């Protein structure tokens, strides 16, 4: 896909991967429609992008009615997006038995329903036009599982499955579907993550420190997203650890599970696994 003058929609554009993706798309010649639940952060992104922003809207991606209104307004006022990046996401960690159903509903609402809503409200018009690219942001933990990440893994595995199914279903339509699976990326996701224990502040602090030490920056993910859009790539693992773990899983699921558990236990606080 040639990106010049294309209309690109990005959810969760207020920070991290979403912001960097919006910036790179703008530099590539796209017009930007951006949404985020945080108006202040969204405004900062709009200021960084400048005149390439043609649509800005505060949005809770888990809210079906709000998403419908947002999509209708974008399509009615500006047009059908050529590119849809379903990026908004959150983190949740802790033992399965400590995770309340409210926490499950929260993470499924944003990480999975948010992606479903983005596909549901934009795909029909894209299919009718016969062109476009949908990009869903999953995680390395949508390709391989980790202990004490059951809710997060469930939401991200589902995004991979949804994306692969849609890619096959839309294969002759002119609409491509890509799923991006990053590893540990230094973003603000740890600030808003939930922890199914009584040590939320401590876990957030140590998790943030780990992400900062790893320091794989979101602009690298954004560059890979843009390349995937241009080439209509399918499942896209990003970050060295994701490639290695995914390859190990395909070679030997049992061995890779044991290795991943040991590595996380050594690297992280043994009482709770964070990713």
Q: Report if residue 57 sits inside a domain.
A: yes
Q: Report if residue 260 sits inside a domain.
A: yes
The boundaries of the domain holding residue 108 are 7-267
Catalytic (active site) residue 152: yes
212-237 burial code (b ≥16 CB/10 A, e <16): eeeebebebbbebbbebbeeebebbb
Number of domains in the chain: 1
Q: Report if residue 15 sits inside a domain.
A: yes
HEC letters along 27-53: HCCCEEEEEECCHHHHHHHHHHHHHHE
Q: Report if residue 275 sits inside a domain.
A: no
Going by their DSSP bridges, the two strands 83-86 and 132-137 should be labelled as: parallel
Element (H, E) at 67: helix 64-77
Q: Report if residue 121 sits inside a domain.
A: yes
- Compute, in degrees rounded to 10, the torsion defined by CA atoms 11, 17, 20, 25: -60
Q: Report if residue 100 sits inside a domain.
A: yes
**What would you report as the CA-atom Rg of the chain, rounded to the nearest whole angstrom?**
18
Query: pLDDT (tens digit, 0 to 9) for every residue of the chain, 275 residues total?
Result: 999 999 999 999 999 999 999 999 999 999 999 999 999 999 999 999 999 999 999 999 999 999 999 999 999 999 999 999 999 999 988 889 999 999 999 999 999 999 999 999 999 999 999 999 999 999 999 998 888 889 999 999 999 999 999 999 999 999 999 999 998 754 555 455 545 555 555 445 555 455 555 556 999 999 999 999 999 999 999 987 777 777 777 777 776 666 666 655 544 443 333 23
Return the CATH number at 125: 3.40.50.720
Q: Which is catalytic among the residues 152, 157, 211, 246?
A: 152
């Amino acid at each position: 896909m040639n990106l010049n003058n294309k209309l690109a929609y990005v959810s969760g554009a207020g920070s991290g991967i979403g912001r960097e993706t919006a910036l790179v798309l703008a530099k590539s010649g796209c017009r930007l429609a951006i949404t985020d639940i945080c108006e202040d952060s969204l405004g900062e992104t709009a200021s960084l992008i400048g005149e390439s922003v043609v649509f800005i809207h505060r949005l809770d991606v888990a809210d079906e009615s709000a998403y419908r209104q947002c999509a209708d307004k974008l399509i009615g006022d500006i047009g059908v997006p050529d590119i849809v990046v379903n990026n908004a996401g959150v983190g949740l960690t802790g033992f399965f038995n400590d995770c309340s159903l409210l926490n499950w509903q929260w993470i499924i609402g944003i990480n999975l329903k948010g992606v479903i809503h983005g596909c549901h409200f934009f795909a029909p018009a894209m299919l009718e036009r016969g062109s476009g690219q949908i990009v869903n942001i999953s995680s390395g933990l949508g390709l391989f599982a980790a202990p004490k990440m059951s809710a997060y893994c469930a939401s991200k595995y589902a995004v991979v499955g949804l994306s692969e199914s849609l890619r096959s279903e839309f294969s002759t339509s002119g609409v491509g579907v890509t799923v991006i699976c990053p590893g540990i990326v230094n973003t603000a996701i740890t600030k808003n993550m939930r922890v199914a224990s009584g040590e939320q502040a401590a876990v957030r602090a140590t998790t943030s420190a780990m992400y900062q030490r790893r320091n794989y920056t979101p602009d690298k993910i954004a560059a890979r997203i843009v390349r995937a859009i241009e080439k209509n790539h399918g499942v896209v693992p990003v970050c060295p650890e994701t490639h290695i773990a995914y390859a190990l899983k395909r070679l030997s699921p049992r061995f890779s599970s044991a290795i991943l558990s040991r590595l996380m236990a050594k690297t992280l606080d043994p009482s709770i696994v964070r990713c």
